[in-house]
Amino acid sequence: MFERLSRSWELVKASGSVLKQDKELLLFPLISSIATLLVIACFALPVIGMGALDGLSGGGNGAVSAGVYVLAFLFYLSQYFVIFFFNAALVGAAMIRLDGGNPTFSDGLRIATSKAGSILGYAAIAATVGMILRAIQERVGFLGKIIVGMLGAGWTVATYMVVPVLVARDIGPIDAVKESAMLLKKTWGENIAGQVGLGAAFTLIQLGVIGCGIALIIAMAFTQSSVLIILAVALVVIAVIITALIHAALSGIYSAALYRYASDGEGTAGFDNNALQLAFTPKS
């Protein structure tokens, strides 16, 4: 286990070296987060105003319930489109860097815009799957919810490289999902450990940031200065946000590098080829 985490950390550091060269890649997860919040606000206000939340609890009639499900689907569709669009922009820009180029922020947006139709199609697929899993989860017991959770995790793993596939190839969303699943089957093993390792690494970092932040706030509390306490809280919030943005950016770079290696077996500038080979150990 420790060996796997060590290899994952090497890949994270390699992704970090790419991010250091193109810090503007952080803008994609930042704008994505802001746009996601705007989507939530745009849907939350009408839902509250229409009293649709009452329909969700079963207090409304069938027409209201149908309307709520339609609204929920549109919310999922909009949210997924925003997330996938900016993720595609990030992956597209990262692929330019991995090919030896020097990407700009506009390059990423141009790539994502050129794939907008396919991204919307994939968002519709993801929204449909999300709605189905949620509907099942609401109608089953505790054991059923665990099974649905496992299905959701399986879907997430199987579609891990859909966005890189859409960016790199001129194919539709259904074919992209199939190819992502095929690449997972072809390279089963350390691929999942790599994803878990990346998440685990940043979970530890976030916990460290929060722990240091709490210590800082407590220290400022002893000064009995409201200005210093507010400043400490603000610094902690900013640090947590920056860490989350770096995690999102590294995840995009990581997926781009893994897709390149998984699809054609070629090395990637800045990445240890041995580490990549170990990250994609075929199942026996």
pLDDT in tens, 75-101: 999 999 999 999 999 999 999 988 888
pLDDT of residue 126: 94
Q: Is residue 110 in a domain?
A: yes
Q: Is residue 2 in a domain?
A: no
Q: Is residue 3 in a domain?
A: no
One-letter amino acid for residue 25 of the chain: L
Query: What is the sign of the dihedral through the CA atoms of 162, 166, 167 and 171?
Result: positive
Q: Is residue 5 in a domain?
A: no
Q: Is residue 199 in a domain?
A: yes
Q: Is residue 25 in a domain?
A: yes
Measured CA to CA, the distance from residue 199 to residue 101 in angstroms comes to 28
Could you tell me which residues come within 8 angstroms of residue 182 by beta carbon, excluding any fewer than 6 positions away?
none
Mean pLDDT check: name the lowest of 54-58, 103-107, 221-225.
54-58
Query: What is the CA angle 264-268-274, rounded to 5?
Result: 90
Question: What phi and psi values does residue 255 have, to the nearest 5 degrees?
Answer: -65, -35
pLDDT in tens, 155-210: 888 888 899 999 999 999 999 999 988 887 765 554 566 666 677 777 888 889 89
Residue 41's domain comprises 11-279
Q: Is residue 284 in a domain?
A: no
Q: Is residue 75 in a domain?
A: yes
Report the range out of 114-118, 127-131, 153-157, 256-260 with the highest average pLDDT.
Answer: 114-118
Count: domains in the chain: 1
pLDDT in tens, 133-154: 887 877 777 777 788 888 888 8
Query: What is the CA angle 51-56-62, rounded to 5?
Result: 90
pTM: 0.81
